[in-house]
Amino acid sequence: MTCGSCVAHVERALSSVPGVSSAQVNLTTEIATINPSESNVTKQHLIQAVRRVGYDAETFRQGDRITSGLKHTQQSKLREQRQALGQAIGLAVPIFVLHWLAPILQGGHQGSQLWPVVVQAMLCALLLISPAGAPILAGGFRAIIARAGNMDLLITLGVTAAFLSGLWQLVIAHTPTMHFHTAAMILSFINLGRYFEIRAKHNAASSISQLVQRIPLTALRIDDDGPQEVRVERIRIGDHIRAGQDAIIAIDGRIIQGQCSVDEGVLTGESAVKPREVGDEVLAGARIAEGLVTIQATRVGADSAMGRIIRAVEDAQAGKTNMQRIADRVAGVFVPIVVLIALLTIMGVILLTDATLSVAINRAVAVLVIACPCAMGLATPTAVMVATSAAALRGILVRDAAGLERAATLDCILFDKTGTLTVGAPAVTQIDVLSPNASLSENDVLAFAAAADQFAQHPIAKSLVAEAQKRNLTLADPDTFSSTPGRGVSAKFDGQEIFVGSARFLADNGIHMAAAQPLVHARAAAGQTAIIVAVDGSCVGVIGLADSIVNGAAQAIAAIHQRGISTAMLTGDNNANAQATADQLGITDVLSEMTPTDKLEEVRRRQDNGLHVGFVGDGINDAPALTAAHVGLTFANATDIAASAADITIVHHDIQKIQSVIELSQRSLRIIKQNLFWAFFYNTLAIPLAAVGTVPPGLAAAAMMISSISVVLNSLRLRS
């Protein structure tokens, strides 16, 4: 494919296959993504549909990566185009020389003025059937047969018109002509432009290729027979992998032996080396900076962190932005309009001026060549490919290219609280002792609570046990244990009866609460959860727990506000806790005790008021709001449902990268607008100049080449 018209024709052909619900074609990656609505759609049906409109296709074998296939295709095309460019120059240069030196080479005898032109005609014929001309002409004639206009059709019409008019004047009119030199110049510039264009595309795709190369081909697996080097695709969940200094981790897993420092820069965009020890998780693609560890595989292949990154980038690059859809529709009808303008140019020159047919053809050829919609077709997909690849290298996964485009227009961002703005796990913040004597300490109160809670599964119970372990407290095993879900637990130790839970739970069990009530109210006012501990019917202490703020959340909110984007917190938590968290973050718009449906309705309410709404969440209950928002953002540790509903996923829980998403989106949108402006402005200005004879065909080919290359080079600026 060579232009946006090609994209439109191939998409229509694929969508016309019975059983295909939709088809998306990407010009830059040359990949079509098909969504079948029926199971009887075969690969052969799809390939035949593509061939019927003058193109060719092949399917990826099972297990092939799109990125590796794309890289191989681009390298092969670059090599072929380099050879075609060499042949174009090798044949065109003698034609130019003969054209320029014709007055000197012509003799005084009859017919001597024709032989330089005859040699030009022979060399031009060789050029047309060489790899520099034949693929273009074949593509153009296929487009004519399929009645599908594209760039190859315009070039074919221009070159064929120049060559045939030259033959006609040479054989029939017996007069020298300059059209052979024109055809040679057009093909030379076209091949030169395609070479630079393929090179630029190759550079644009290099970012995602870097991601693929981060996964090693082999890893050291520990079997019963000892260490054995195996290919990565043979590793299964549960296998033990050993990795040492400077090794790239091949799978996601948990360290079961040893300790190390890892560099996760390729996953997160951060260069800081982080310590990891037994029990910690490590991700595929990370580099071990120091140490030797044995890792138990938990996710392998496409399910690993790097595999998900690569898949997300591929999906985004296969998608289309709204601007790209508009450009493709325009390009689809552009070629017939250009052919009509070229015909009108010939008629206008003949009827309205004294110029010859040769001049008219020359101007028509210039119109055909200069109007090729290459830049229009490349304007958006190249920018999207570069932006999504650059984002992936910085720990931002774009699942939907249109979502990245919409992020530039956000007016407000709504945040879930628990697990998004807070870590999602309560931590002990304060312990108050209520014992009437001084025999109990904070650690004693915590030890009672943790011992009673050590067999409970509630997050608060786990937080109490974790805090006790952090303080190296010894926890006795209870003689009896009973749990009331969501309220509290009771246990007995050596004849002592212990109750741990909410004020209502203890009151229902006959515990006198007067001494504890002031502290309970104080903890609630501070946005904390109050857990009361009672021993043998008396309250001995109140433990305050709170969900801690995610690192950098306050700075992220402030940065978003500086961009003129408002924020709000939507949470199912009670109002006191929600308000306390919002106050720490600088969020003034707080909606508490919200259900998933409430969150969805709030997103829609703001959208109905004309706002472009972003939503950031990580749980199953956030999925409806993530789907409804203009842009849904989540984190790599989110639930699968939330991840599938979001447009953009941030690797690790780095909330400050939301600002990076907005900045990248704004830069991408700016680049796309620049590209489209240049493409449309170029054609609007160039076609009239070619029609009136200001731009000759050779210069038209050069201008078309420059316009396409400039669009790609402008997109490459997003890499930095």
Residue 504 sits in a domain whose CATH number is: 3.40.1110.10
Residue 633 domain-assigned (yes or no): yes
pTM of the complete model: 0.61
Q: What is the pLDDT of residues 349-405, one digit of tens each?
A: 888 888 777 788 878 888 877 776 667 667 777 787 788 777 877 778 887 777 888
Residue 343 has pLDDT above 80, yes or no: yes
Residue 235 domain-assigned (yes or no): yes
| Strand boundaries in 464-528, DSSP class E | 480-484, 488-493, 496-501
Strand partners, 492: 480, 497
Instruction: Mean pLDDT check: name the lowest of 10-14, 104-108, 124-128, 609-613.
Output: 104-108
Contact in structure between 446 and 473 (CB atoms under 8 Å): yes
pLDDT of the residue at 49: 92
Higher pLDDT, residue 564 or 99 = 564
Same domain, 328 and 198: yes
pLDDT of the residue at 617: 85
Same domain, 434 and 494: yes
Same domain, 198 and 326: yes
Most confident of 234-248, 316-330, 618-632, 643-657: 234-248
Residue 247 sits in a domain whose CATH number is: 2.70.150.10
Q: What is the pLDDT of residues 651-698, one digit of tens each?
A: 777 888 899 899 988 898 888 888 888 877 777 788 888 888 888 776
Instruction: Mean pLDDT check: name the lowest of 20-29, 370-379, 508-517.
Output: 370-379
The domain in which residue 43 lies consists of 4-64
Distances 659 to 413, 563, 566 between C-alpha atoms, Å: 11, 9, 13
Residue 663 domain-assigned (yes or no): no
pLDDT of the residue at 589: 92
Residue 319 has pLDDT above 80, yes or no: no
Same domain, 464 and 502: yes
pLDDT of the residue at 572: 75
Residue 313 domain-assigned (yes or no): no
Average pLDDT over residues 315-339: 67
pLDDT of the residue at 63: 41
Last residue of a domain, one of 548, 572, 588: 548
Using CA atoms of 677, 679, 685, 686 in order, give the dihedral in degrees to the nearest 10.
Answer: 170
> pLDDT category, 79, cuts 50, 70, 90?
confident
Higher pLDDT, residue 639 or 333 = 333
Last residue of a domain, one of 304, 339, 361: 304
Same domain, 228 and 339: no
Q: What's the whole-number average pLDDT of the chain? A: 80
Strand partners, 271: none
Residue 152 has pLDDT above 80, yes or no: no
Residue 664 domain-assigned (yes or no): no
Residue 404 sits in a domain whose CATH number is: 3.40.50.1000
Residue 14 sits in a domain whose CATH number is: 3.30.70.100
Backbone torsions φ then ψ of 169, nearest 5 degrees: -70, -30
Residue 613 has pLDDT above 90, yes or no: yes
Residue type, 413: I
Rounded Cα distance between 352 and 362, Å, is 16
Distances 102 to 88, 115, 403, 643, 699 between C-alpha atoms, Å: 21, 9, 60, 69, 21
Backbone torsions φ then ψ of 288, nearest 5 degrees: -80, 110
Residue 66 has pLDDT above 60, yes or no: no
Average pLDDT over residues 114-139: 85
Instruction: Mean pLDDT check: name the lowest of 10-19, 374-383, 531-540, 603-612.
Output: 374-383
416 annotated active-site:
yes
**Number of domains the chain contains:** 5
Residue 454: partners with Cβ closer than 8 Å, 6 or more residues away? 461, 465, 475
pLDDT of the residue at 588: 92
Residue 82 domain-assigned (yes or no): yes
pLDDT of the residue at 500: 93
Same domain, 445 and 498: yes
Contact in structure between 619 and 572 (CB atoms under 8 Å): no
pLDDT of the residue at 108: 55
Most confident of 49-53, 207-211, 435-439: 49-53
Backbone torsions φ then ψ of 228, nearest 5 degrees: -145, 130
How many percent of the chain have pLDDT more than 90? 14
Most confident of 153-162, 322-331, 567-576: 567-576
**Which H or E run includes 282?**
strand 281-282
Catalytic entry in 239, 263, 416, 622? 416
Same domain, 555 and 654: yes
Most confident of 1-5, 72-76, 171-175, 708-712: 708-712
Same domain, 542 and 444: yes
Residue 543 has pLDDT above 90, yes or no: yes
Residue 392 domain-assigned (yes or no): no
Same domain, 193 and 243: no
Within 13 Å and on the Cβ side, how many CA atoms surround 59?
A: 12
Residue 24: partners with Cβ closer than 8 Å, 6 or more residues away? 11, 32, 33, 318, 319, 320
Residue 483 domain-assigned (yes or no): yes
How many percent of the chain have pLDDT more than 70? 83
Q: What is the pLDDT of residues 552-596, one digit of tens each?
A: 899 999 999 999 999 999 987 778 778 888 888 999 999 988 877
Same domain, 141 and 171: yes
> pLDDT category, 315, cuts 50, 70, 90?
low
Last residue of a domain, one of 277, 304, 331: 304
Residue 57 has pLDDT above 80, yes or no: yes
Same domain, 82 and 174: yes
Same domain, 435 and 411: no
Structure tokens at 137: 């002409």
